Amino acid sequence: MPDIHNKEIRRKNMQAVKTANTLIEKRISQFLTELDIQFYTQDKSLPGKPDFVIENYKAVIFTHGCFWHQHNCYLFNMPQTRKEFWTRKLNQNQIRDQRNISDLTSQGWKVLVIWGCALKGKYKLTDLDLKERIEEWLCAHSHNAEIEINGLKKTNYALS
């Protein structure tokens, strides 16, 4: 199935996709501030340029959009146009994400991935639930985790 937009319109649409200071990042920033947690954002010196770095806990947070990072939830749908391109692109995103998380973990950082579905959509978590899960993860001694519509999920990433 061909793309419904011409190349110029598609290019403009893709350029409009934000990579920093997204609505999800603004909400997480607000939660961290309300929890009185010191952080900084978009550290280019760390693998994957984490959205949030919390040095006091040697912790980083990534906020992943369910589409761009191919999350297995109801918000993700593979595009019906240019399937081969999108499959390759989104699979490469997942491989890069896993590599960055493994690199961070091997450097002693604990990693939290907050999925877009936890913050938006019909099954989103409440602000209180999200703050509690972030705080719970920070206070845990050493594990990586994901926050998604099912709550807080501990994850073990293989070290490379």
Task: Give the residue numbers marked as catalytic.
Answer: 51, 63, 69, 97
On the CB side of 2, CA atoms within 13 Å amount to 4
CA distances from 150 to 80, 126, 156 (A): 27, 12, 17
CA distance 63 to 22: 9
- Residue 116 CA, chain-centre distance (Å), reads 7
- Residue 67 CA, chain-centre distance (Å), reads 11
**Alpha helices, DSSP H, located in 3-111:** 7-15, 23-34, 83-106
CA distance 71 to 41: 23
How is residue 56 annotated by DSSP?
Answer: G
